Each structure stands twice: as structure tokens, then as C-alpha cells.
Amino acid sequence: MTDAPPALSRPSAVLRLIVASPLTLWVAFVAVHLYLGLLALYAPGLPLGDVTLVYRFWIEQALGGGLWVGIDTAWVYPLLALVPMLVANLFGPDQYGATWLSMVMVLNAVAFGFVTGWGRRPERVPAGWWWIGFLFLLGPIALARIDSITVPIALVGVLLLAARPFLASALLAVATWIKVWPAALVLAALISVRDRLRVVAGAATVTAVVLVGALLLGASSSVLSFVTEQTGRGLQIEAPVSTVWMWMARAGVPGAHVYYDTGILTYQVEGPGWQVAAAMMTPLLAVVVATIAGLALVAVRRGAAVGDLLPPLALALVTALIAVNKVGSPQFVSWLAVPVVLGLVTSASGWGRSFRVPGVLVLVIAGLTHVIYPYLYNWLLSLDLLLLVVLTARNLLYFALLAWAVHAIVTAPRWADEHDLGETGPQTVWPIRLAEGSIHTSKG
């Protein structure tokens, strides 16, 4: 038996070189954003509707001499969400949607540079391709909500935690003051990162600046209204807890039905016992978050390495915010990219466990979400059997993802003793550059 001719191996080698090329990565990044931008602007289902109808209305109302949401009146979003909404109006209301998409693409480009090490970190190429694939599978919703602004900011924040904990925490706090979910990442950092004082200082500084600025602008209790505005909501149809009532409505159970709530502009579901479920979800979420934090604190006390603990802890907390929630908007899936990319980068740098399993799970979740929204959303509203099966499968995968993350927290290995590290101690990058003494490494 003879070896295969060298020519036969050349195509695969050339393909690997092309895939590993920073230029190829950036071309794919731009192509996917242009594709998703076209879908957001022109695809059926009005995927950019919240931006061009709701966000633009709030800004036109304010600039026209009316009320400023979050300042003059209560609002569902934290105050800094006004900033990107104002920026999107830079070239006038007619270009609001295009300006929004351009702004998101620029922010994502900065985050993508951090993810890939600006072309100087070949081991991060898979993480870059994963994020591109995730955006493609999730569809236009990945660019078409206020969450699209917070994801790249949070992504840069978590990637800077080891080297610049104050700056990283400040960025995460900025993202939190745009949409609340990055607070889970701040909590994960407080538990995992050794330089907790700088983490606290960064978040506290941004929060103080926002609160003082809000008071100077004339806001009072409205600046914190986003905390209470969601408490009275019912069961949004895509939320995991709502799956039971969606099937009730499909089965024709008396009283179970889908309806449109004109107050919060979303579709919800009612049925026997829905009030109890809606009332229980917020306390249950608090219990789940506290339990995850408790398990992480035990792991820290046991000596778990930051590289082994922070990514799954961030994933567990962010997933809990989605899985144990009475709201289940499709854009929530975009949050999952942050802990998964962090895990992929950390693992590629040699400081944490493999993140392949959650990487695959989140890609499937993104693809199933794209099936549901925006093109076939009306089928879900009409309780189509196939769409209900897709929704149920997607929601069950949230809990599979949460289970993986919790297991990873519980089984996080201990960090190696300093004398065991020898000359191969923490000299390399996690995930961008290790601050001296900021992290311990795990054995093996």
C-alpha cells in the first residue's frame, strides 16, 4: 500500500489555511452582517419593528418636546438604553433602521476583534467562526433589538476581566444600564475573579455616574422603574414556563388562549393556574440564581480555578435568566453568545474545560429560535403543531444547557499549587492577558 499522492492532501491543507485566515474571518463577519441586515429590513414578519416603530417613536416623541421615557416617565429599560436609540436618529428618522444596523455592526466588529485577538491569536479562530455561525443561525433578531447593543459591550467586558477588572466591570455595568441581563456577568465576576475590589469599583463608578446624571436630568424614581415595570407581566408565549399553557390552548382546555397585551406590546398566554405561575417566576428565579451562586462560592472555597469556574458560572447565570423567566423574547438567545465565546476562548488559551457541548447546544437553540421568529411567528400564534414542537424542543434545551453549566461548576477542578507550575506558570493569556496573580490555573 502506497501513500496518497501529495496532490490529494493539498485541497484540505489549502482549505484549512483559508478558514484560519484572519481575512476570511472578517469577510465572513461582514457578509453575515450584511445578510442579516437585509433580512432585518426586508424579511417578512417585520424583524426590525421594535427599532423602527417603538424605539424611533420614543425618540421622536422626546425630541419633539414630549416626554422622555426613563426620565419623565417610567420605562421598561434602564436609562442608558436611550443613548443608542438617540444615536440611531443621527441621520434622521428615515434612516433610523439602517443607522441602527450600522451601529450594531460597528460594535460587533470591535467585539469580534477582541474575540479573535485582532488576527494575532490563531487559537481563537474557532471562537470567531462560532460567533459568526451563531449570528447566522439566530437570524435578524441578533441585530434588531436593544440587546444587540449590550452583547458586544458585555463580550469585550468579560474578555478583559483578567487583565483589566476595573475597566471590564465598568463595561459590564454600562451594558447593565442598557439592558439588565449583564448584571449576571457582574455577579459571576464578583464570585470568580480574585480582584473583587476592582470589580466592585468599576460597577459602582458607572452606577454612580448614571444615577447622578439622571438626577441632574430631572429623573427621580423613574430611573429605577425598569426594576418594577416587568413584575406585573403575564406569561409571554415563548417563555419556557408558558409551554404548558401553549399546549393547553392547543388542546382546547377551557380558558387557555393566546392574546395580545396592548400595554406591553407582546403576545401572552392564559389558562388555568397561569396567575400562580406568573407570580412564582420572579421568586423562583431569585432562588435559582442564589443556588447557582452558592454552588460557585463552594467551588471557590474549594480552590476552583477562575478559568474553569467563570465561563460555566456566567453561562449558568445567564441561562437561568432565560430558562426561569416568564418573559421569553427571541432576542434573549443572543445573551448566550457571551458566556459561550468566553468559554471557547478560555479553553483555546489552555485555561479552562472544553466548551464544545454548550457551543453545540446554543447553536441548536439559535437555529430553532430562527425557525420560530420572525417568519413563522404567526404559525406559533395560531398554535400550529409543528411550531409548538419546535418551541418545546428549544425550551427543553435551555434546561439541558443549564444542567451542563451547573455540573461544570460543581466539578470545577482545583487550581495548581504555585510550586507545581514551575516555569510554565501563568505567563500566557487568559483570556487576553493575565494580570499577575489575578488567576490560578487548573491541573491537567
Q: What percent of the chain has pLDDT over 70?
A: 91
Q: What is the pLDDT of residue 415?
A: 66
- Residue 31, C-beta contacts closer than 8 angstroms, at least 6 positions apart: none
pLDDT beyond 80 at 82:
yes
- Give kind and range of the element (H or E) at residue 257: strand 257-261
Angle between helices 165-176 and 183-192 (to 10 degrees): 150
Distance of CA 341 to the CA centre of its chain: 10
Per-residue pLDDT of 294-322, as tens digits, reads 999 999 999 999 999 999 999 999 999 99
Mean pLDDT for the chain?
89
Segment 57-78 shows an average pLDDT of: 92
Radius of gyration of the chain (CA): 22
The more confident residue out of 154 and 439 is 154
For the residues 100-119, what does the mean pLDDT come to? 96
In the predicted model, is pLDDT for residue 437 greater than 50?
no
Residue of 233 and 46 predicted with greater confidence: 46
Q: What is the mean pLDDT of residues 48-76?
A: 93
For 42-48, what is the mean pLDDT? 93
Query: Residue 342: which of 106, 180, 198, 157 has the closest Cα?
Result: 157
- What pLDDT was estimated at residue 9? 54
For the CA atoms of 23, 27, 29, 34, the dihedral, rounded to the nearest 10 degrees, stands at: 160
Has residue 41 got a pLDDT over 90? yes
Half-sphere exposure of 7 (CA within 13 A, CB side): 0
Name residue 266's beta-bridge partners: 261
Counting Cα atoms < 13 Å in the Cβ hemisphere of 257 gives 5
> What is the grid cell recorded at 421?
507550575
Q: Would you list the domain boundaries of the chain? A: 21-416
353-383 pLDDT per residue, tens: 999 999 999 999 999 999 999 999 999 999 9
Reported as a pLDDT band with limits 50, 70 and 90, residue 53 is very high
Per-residue pLDDT, averaged over 333-357, amounts to: 95
How many Å apart are CA 380 and CA 356, to the nearest integer? Answer: 31
Whether the Cβ atoms of residue 140 and residue 333 lie closer than 8 Å to each other: no
Backbone angles phi, psi at 260, to 5 degrees: -100, 120
| Model confidence pLDDT, tens digit, residues 119-156 | 888 889 999 999 999 999 999 999 999 999 999 999 99
- The mean pLDDT of 25-39, rounded to a whole number, is 97
Give the dihedral sign, CA 324/325/330/336. Answer: negative
Closest by Cα among 419, 417, 426, 415 to 304: 415
pLDDT tens per residue, range 170-228: 999 999 999 999 999 999 999 999 899 999 999 999 999 999 999 998 887 788 888 87
C-alpha–C-alpha distance, residues 181 and 315, integer Å:
12
